[in-house]
Amino acid sequence: MRLLLIADTHVPKRARDLPPQLWAAVDEADVVLHAGDWVDVALLDALEQRATRLIGCYGNNDGAALRARLPEVARAELGGLRFAVVHETGPSGGRDQRCAARFPDTDVLVFGHSHIPWDSTAPGGLRLLNPGSPTDRRRQPHCTYLTATADAGQLSDVTLHRLPPR
């Protein structure tokens, strides 16, 4: 199962649309996971139409229309793994332990908010992944997203993709 992980798209405030490379990744993915801060319902509509399957949550910059359609925490079983998708996880210090305690029945936690890519494994085995942002790099050198493969209870091929400067 080919996964595409994105967060903090902030369309149309930080970009008018997602980069073409990311739309191509949407087309190739079996599942797109979006960890919040969509900003506008139009992007949710576009991803729902184009993605084979979309799993997402709302973020702190998402208003009432998005919050009416998306949960604070989205959950799904994909490729034999239990996924949770949430926007905020708090400060980086102690994140692994805090998230392991908050999501004890989860194998992979996808999160956003910081715009900083993250890949760690908490005590007990919870994998934490933040894809960064494809539209707003903040203090990062590149805009980014993640791809991965989920199959037979294993997560593999976790790859951080850098987008070309706009």
Q: Binning pLDDT at 50, 70 and 90, where does residue 165 land?
A: confident
List beta partners, residue 146: 5, 160
Closest to 31 (Cα-Cα) out of 6, 1, 59, 58: 1
Q: Can you give the pLDDT at residue 56? A: 98
From CA 53, how far away is CA 95, in angstroms rounded? 28
From CA 13, how far away is CA 37, in angstroms rounded? 11
Whole-number Cα distances in Å, 101 to 94, 117, 122: 11, 21, 10
Q: What is the pLDDT of residues 84-134, one digit of tens each?
A: 999 999 999 999 999 999 999 999 999 999 999 999 999 999 999 999 999
Which residues, at least 6 apart from 42, have a Cβ–Cβ distance to it below 8 Å? Answer: 11, 12
Q: What is the pLDDT of residues 53-66, one digit of tens each?
A: 999 999 999 999 99
Mean pLDDT of 63-84: 98
Closest to 138 (Cα-Cα) out of 20, 8, 5: 8
Domain 2-163 class?
alpha beta
Whole-number Cα distances in Å, 122 to 67, 101, 102, 106, 109: 29, 10, 12, 11, 10
The mean pLDDT of the chain is: 96
pTM of the model: 0.97
